[in-house]
Amino acid sequence: MSPPNARPFDPVEATVSEIRDAYETGETTAEAVADAHLARIDEHDDELNAILAVNRDARDRARELDAAFDRDGFVGPLHGIPVVLKDNQDTRDMPTTAGSTALAESRPPRDASVVRRLREAGAVVLAKANLQELSFGVDTVSSLGGATRNAYALDRRPSGSSGGTAAAVAASFAVVGTGTDTCSSVRSPPAFNDAVGVRPTTGLVSRTGIVPLSDTQDTAGPIARTVEDAARTLEAMAGYDPADPVTARGVGRIPDEGYAAGLDPDALTGARIGVAREFFGLRNDESAPARAAERVTAVVEDAIGELEAAGATIVDPVDVVDRTRLESARVLEYEFARDFDAYLAELGDAAPHDSLADVVATGELHPSVQARFEDAAILDTDVDALDENTGYLRSLRRREAIRDAVLARMAADDLDAVLYPPSRVPPVEIPDNQPFEEMNCELAAHTGLPAIVVPAGFTPAGLPVGVELLGRAFDERRLFELAYAFERATDHRRPPDRFVE
C-alpha cells in the first residue's frame, strides 16, 4: 500500500539522499522506487541494450524493506536504493554469466562479497548489466548480450568492460551500479557516459565471488551519477574479507565517518594537482584521427582551468612515469587462465566448464573476443610455472618500482592528485573497436593506487569527456573531496537527452 503522501516517483537523476528523504517524509516507498526504475528498463533498454537480466525478486525485496522501515526505520545507508550489478559479480538469486553464452547457466551458490555488503546496506539488486565478454576488452560486446550503446550517442561505444553498468546508470535505470576494473573498466565507461567512477586502492574492496581477469589488478568499484552517491556506494562495498587476504591492507584505512560525510564544495582551495602531460594526445596515428584526441584535450584543458578557478594550484606538467616502463608491468596474459580456472573450481558442481580453455573451445564467444584470444598467448601460458617465470616476476617487481616513483613524485611536488584524461579519444562509432592503446588505464591499475573519474564536459559533437584524478594509497577520502568540489563548481553532469522522460 502506498503511503498517504505518495506521489508518482520520478527516477531520472534521483540521488541516494533524495530517495532517503522521500522515504522519511512518506512521499514514496521502496516498492514504488523499484517499480519506476524497472519501468525505465522495460521502456528504454531495447535502445540502449545495457541489461542482461532483471531480478525477478526485486519487488519482493523492496516490499520487505518497506515492511522493515515501517517497523524499525532504515535497515542501512542504501535502504531501498536500486542497484545494477556488472554481471561478473556472483549473485545467489541470478545467473552470473560474464556476458558469455558458455556461462549462461552458471548459478553461484552465494553472493560475491561486494554484493552481500550492498544487500546488507539495504540495496535492491535490480538487474545484471552487460559487459565486455569475460571483461576481456573495452567495447562492451558479448555473446550473451550483444553490443551495449552509449547513452549519449546510440551509434557510439560506451567503452568497457563495465559499459553496461555505466550506460544503465547514465540513463537512470538504477541509482548506482557496480563495475570491476582490471584496466579502465570503472573509469573510461563512466567518462564516456557522463558519470562518476572509482577504482579503489588495491585491498580496499574484496574480489571474492567476482569472475577474474587478473588477480593482481582486479578490483570492484562504484559507478554513479554524482560524487556523493559514488562515495556512499564505496562505503557499503569496502571492508575486510577473510576470504580475500589482500583486504587486510585496508583494515583501519577507511575513515570512521565514511567517505560521503563532510564533502566540502570549497575543498579545492589550496589543493595541489599535477597534470601528467604524457597521457594527453594521440598515441597511434592509426587508432583514431588526430582531431579526436584534440577534442578530448580541449575539454580537459577547460577542466584544468576550472579547477584553478575553484582554488586549486595546478602543477603543469609533472613527469610521472616512463610510458614504456609502465607498459612493461602488464601481467594479464600470465594470470588470466590461472585465475579464471580457480574461480570455476570454487563454483564446484555449479561450474558449466572446467577451464578458460574449455570456454574458448566452445566457439561461442563473441567473434571480436574470440579474435583477441587468437592474437594473445593467454592459453599457452604454463600457469603452474609462474613462480619461476622470469618475465612475470620482473613485471610484478616493476609495479613496485613504478608505484614508488609515482608516490615520490607526488611527495616531491606536494600533490594531492595527478590529473589526466581516462581516454585520449572520445567514444568511437559502432562497429569500430575502441582503441585500447588510447586508454590511460595502466597508471592506477599497475600501481594499485586509487583513482576517480568525474564529468568534465562535452565535445562539440555532444560526447561526454571525463577527467581522472589519481591519489595516494587509501586516500579515497581526499579524492572524493576534490572531485565533489569540482562537480559543485562546474555541474557538468546532464542526463542523456534520449532518456530524460
Range 101-118 average pLDDT: 97
- pLDDT confidence bin for 176, thresholds 50/70/90: very high
Q: pLDDT, tens digit, for every residue of 268-283? A: 999 999 999 999 999 9
What is the reported pLDDT for 6? 60
- Tracing cell 548506482 back to the chain, one arrives at 176
Cα distance between residue 207 and residue 123, in whole Å: 19
Does pLDDT of 351 surpass 60?
A: yes
| DSSP 8-state code for residue 94 | B
Terminal Cα-to-Cα distance of the chain (whole angstroms): 26
Confidence band (pLDDT; 50, 70, 90) for 146? very high
CA distance 423 to 142: 22
Residue pLDDT, tens place only, 308-327: 999 999 999 999 998 889 99
Nearest to 378 by CA among 396, 360, 354: 360
Nine-digit cell string for 289? 584521427
Quickly state the pLDDT bin for 453 (edges 50, 70, 90).
very high
Predicted local confidence at residue 192, as pLDDT: 98
- pLDDT for 501 equals 79
- Contact (CB, 8 A) for 45 and 51: yes
Cβ–Cβ under 8 Å, residues 165 and 195: no
Average of per-residue pLDDT across 9-13: 97
pLDDT reported for residue 5: 57
Percentage of the chain exceeding pLDDT 90: 97
pLDDT at residue 67 greater than cutoff 90: yes
Residue 206: active-site member: no
- Round the average pLDDT of the chain to a whole number and report it: 97
Q: At what angle do helices 16-24 and 30-48 cross, to 10 degrees?
A: 150
Cβ–Cβ under 8 Å, residues 493 and 225? yes
CATH class held by domain 16-499: alpha beta
Q: Mean of the pLDDT values across residues 53-59? A: 98
371-406: pLDDT as tens digits? 999 999 999 999 999 999 999 999 999 999 999 999
Q: What 3-state DSSP class applies to 145?
A: coil
**Alpha carbons 138 and 156: distance in angstroms, whole number:** 13
* Ranges assigned E (strand) in 174-241: 176-181, 196-199, 219-224
Q: At what angle do helices 227-237 and 16-24 cross, to 10 degrees?
A: 80
What is residue 398's predicted lDDT score, i.e. its pLDDT?
97
The C-alpha cell at 308 is 584553478
Give the pLDDT confidence score for residue 323 in this predicted structure.
Answer: 86
- Tell me if the pTM is above 0.85: yes
Q: Residue 363: left if φ>0, alpha if ψ -120 to 50, beta else—which one?
A: left
Beta carbons within 10 angstroms of residue 295's beta carbon: 18
For the stretch 307-326, what's the b/e string if a residue is b when 16 or more beta carbons lie within 10 angstroms of its beta carbon? beebebbbbeebebbeeeeb
Does the pLDDT value for residue 411 go beyond 60?
yes
Radius of gyration of the chain (CA): 21
Catalytic site residue 128? no
**pLDDT of 128 strictly over 70:** yes
Residue 7 has pLDDT above 90, yes or no: no
- The single residue of 100, 106, 135, 161 carrying the catalytic annotation is 161
Position 3 scores a pLDDT of: 59
pLDDT at 4 over 80: no
- 420, pLDDT greater than 70: yes
Q: Per the residue annotation, which of 185, 188, 287, 423 is the catalytic one?
A: 185
Mean pLDDT of 135-164: 98
Question: What is the C-alpha separation between 406 and 442, in angstroms, rounded?
Answer: 12
Domain ranges, ordered by start, for the chain: 16-499
